[in-house]
C-alpha cells in the first residue's frame, strides 16, 4: 500500500474506515438486541462480592497504562484472594504481566478488531462473573467484557456508546472526575468492593531477572557501584520526547562531574535505532537496552538504575513502581495526571506547560525542547547527591 499513489492510498483508507464504521454499527445493534434479551439482573443492587469466583480485568492499552493498573490489580486480589483472575493485556506486554502474582492468566489483546471474535470466545471460556475495565481500547473493550459472559461489568469513565452494557451505567462520570490515572483505576476497583487506601503499583522482580540483568551489564563492562543513569529518549509521540541533542549534551555534562558514570538507553524494540544513534554520540560510556532485553526483565533493569531521565512514557511508570528515582520531563501532558502519584520526594518533575495548541499525540517537539539541559542537570545532581549519600 505504501508504494501506491497517494490518491489510491487515500481511497483505501476511506474504504477501511467505512468498513470499520459499518462493523461497529452492526456490533452495536447486535449487542443492543442481546442486552434486551438478557434476563440476568445486572444492576449494582444485585452485585454480591461473595458470589464472585472468576474475574476478568481489562487493561489493554500502552505499557504505562497497564503499569498504572497494577495498583487496582493488587486491590482486587486482596479483596478476592481465592478468585481466578484473568487479565486482558496488550500483546507486547503479556510476558511481563504473566508474572504478576495477582493474576492467574494474561491473555493477549491485539489492537482494534484484529481477531475480535476469537478473542471474545477465548474470554468466554474463562467464564468470569465480574469484569473490570481498568483502561481499555474502545469501542472494543466494553463489548469484549460483555461477550465474555460477565454478569457484572464496571468501568470509569462510563461515557462510551456501549455504556448500556455496564453495571454502573448511571450516573455518568467523565475523566474530569479523576486527578490521576491510577486514581481512576482504583475507583473502578472500589466499585467491586476493593479497599484501595494506600495501594501501590506492583511489578515483581524475580531472582532470575536480576541475574539476567546483572549478566547483561557485566558482559558490557559495567562495573558494580558506579552511577548508572537511565535515559528514556523515546515516547509515543515527538511532543513527549526531549530532543536527541539535549540527551547527548546532558550526558557530557554529567560525565564532566562524574567520570565513572554509565548511561543505559532504555526503550522499545522500535526505538532501538534511535537509541543507538544517541549512544554513539555519547560514546563508550553508553549502552542500549532497547530491543536487547525481554520485556519481563525491564523492571529488574530499571530497578538497577541510580535514576532515570524520562519523558511521559511507560518506562517512567515502571521506575515509579520499582522505586527508582526519576527526573520527569513534561510539556504537553500534565504530571499531576500522569506523573508519579506517590513517593514524590524521591522524584524531580520539570513541567513546562505548552503555550501552543499541541496535543499529547502531536509530532511537534517545540514545547518539551524548551526544557534546558542545565535545569535537567541540576535535577540529576540533586538525586545523585542524595543516592550516593544514602549508599
pLDDT digits (tens, 9 = 90+) for 8-62: 554 544 554 445 566 789 999 999 999 999 999 999 999 999 999 999 999 999 9
Share of the chain above pLDDT 90, in %: 87
pLDDT at 3: 57
Average pLDDT over residues 242-269: 97
C-alpha cell at 80: 478476592
3-state SS assignment for residue 267: coil
Q: Count of residues for the chain?
A: 391
pLDDT at 389: 73
Going by pLDDT thresholds of 50, 70 and 90, the confidence category of residue 101 is: very high
C-alpha cell at 143: 463489548
Q: Is residue 89 over pLDDT 90?
A: yes
pLDDT at 16: 45
Quick: pLDDT tens for 324-343.
999 999 999 999 999 999 99
Average pLDDT over residues 218-247: 94
Query: Which residues fall within 8 angstroms of residue 28, CB to CB, at 6 or more apart?
Result: 139, 161, 162
Report which of residues 288 and 18 the model is more confident about.
288
Q: Is residue 114 over pLDDT 90?
A: no
pLDDT at 122: 97
pLDDT at 235: 93
Average pLDDT over residues 149-155: 98
For residue 266, how many other CB atoms are within 10 A of its CB?
27
Longest dimension (CA), the chain: 71
pLDDT at 388: 75
Give 348's strand partners.
327
Strand order in the sheet with 286-288: 286-288, 262-266, 228-232, 307-310, 326-330, 348-351
Cell 512514557 belongs to 313
Q: How far, rounded to the nearest angstrom, does the alpha carbon of residue 248 sit from its chain's CA centroid?
A: 26
Q: Is residue 222 over pLDDT 60?
A: yes
Cell 495477582 belongs to 102
* Range with the poorest average pLDDT among 22-26, 81-85, 164-168: 22-26
Q: What's the chain's Rg over C-alpha atoms?
A: 22
- pTM (2 decimals)? 0.92
Amino acid at each position: 500500500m505504501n508504494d501506491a499513489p497517494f490518491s489510491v492510498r487515500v481511497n483505501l483508507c476511506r474504504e477501511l474506515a467505512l468498513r470499520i464504521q459499518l462493523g461497529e454499527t452492526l456490533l452495536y445493534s447486535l449487542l443492543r438486541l442481546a442486552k434486551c434479551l438478557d434476563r440476568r439482573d445486572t444492576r449494582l443492587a444485585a452485585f454480591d462480592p461473595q458470589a464472585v469466583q472468576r474475574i476478568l480485568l481489562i487493561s489493554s492499552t500502552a505499557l504505562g497504562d497497564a503499569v498504572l493498573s497494577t495498583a487496582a490489580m493488587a486491590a482486587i486480589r486482596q479483596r478476592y484472594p481465592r478468585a481466578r483472575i484473568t487479565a486482558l493485556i496488550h500483546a507486547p506486554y503479556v510476558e511481563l504481566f504473566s508474572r504478576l502474582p495477582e493474576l492467574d492468566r494474561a491473555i493477549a489483546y491485539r489492537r482494534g478488531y484484529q481477531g475480535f471474535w476469537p478473542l471474545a470466545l477465548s474470554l468466554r471460556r474463562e467464564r468470569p462473573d465480574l469484569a473490570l475495565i481498568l483502561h481499555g481500547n474502545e469501542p472494543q473493550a466494553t463489548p469484549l467484557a460483555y461477550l465474555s459472559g460477565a454478569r457484572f461489568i464496571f468501568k470509569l469513565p462510563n461515557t462510551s456508546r456501549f455504556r448500556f452494557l455496564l453495571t454502573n451505567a448511571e450516573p455518568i462520570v467523565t475523566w474530569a472526575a479523576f486527578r490521576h490515572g491510577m486514581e481512576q483505576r482504583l475507583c473502578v476497583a472500589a466499585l467491586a468492593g476493593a479497599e484501595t487506601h494506600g495501594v501501590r503499583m506492583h511489578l515483581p522482580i524475580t531472582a532470575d531477572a536480576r541475574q539476567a540483568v546483572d549478566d547483561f551489564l557485566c558482559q558490557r563492562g559495567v562495573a558494580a557501584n558506579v552511577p548508572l543513569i537511565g535515559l528514556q529518549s523515546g515516547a509515543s509521540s515527538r511532543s513527549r520526547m526531549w530532543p536527541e541533542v539535549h540527551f547527548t549534551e546532558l550526558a557530557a555534562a554529567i560525565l564532566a562531574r562524574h567520570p565513572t558514570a554509565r548511561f543505559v538507553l532504555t526503550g522499545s524494540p522500535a526505538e532501538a535505532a534511535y537509541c543507538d544513534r544517541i549512544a554513539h554520540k555519547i560514546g563508550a560510556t553508553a549502552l542500549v537496552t532497547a530491543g536487547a532485553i525481554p520485556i519481563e526483565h525491564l523492571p529488574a533493569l530499571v530497578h538497577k538504575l541510580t535514576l532515570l531521565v524520562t519523558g511521559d512514557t511507560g518506562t517512567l511508570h515502571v521506575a515509579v513502581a520499582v522505586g527508582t528515582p526519576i527526573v520527569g520531563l513534561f510539556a504537553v501532558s500534565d504530571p499531576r495526571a500522569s506523573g508519579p502519584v506517590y513517593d514524590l520526594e524521591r522524584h524531580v518533575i520539570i513541567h513546562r506547560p505548552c503555550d501552543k495548541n499541541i496535543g499529547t499525540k502531536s509530532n511537534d517537539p517545540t514545547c518539551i525542547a524548551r526544557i534546558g539541559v542545565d535545569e535537567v542537570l541540576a535535577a540529576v545532581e540533586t538525586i545523585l547527591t542524595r543516592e550516593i549519600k544514602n549508599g
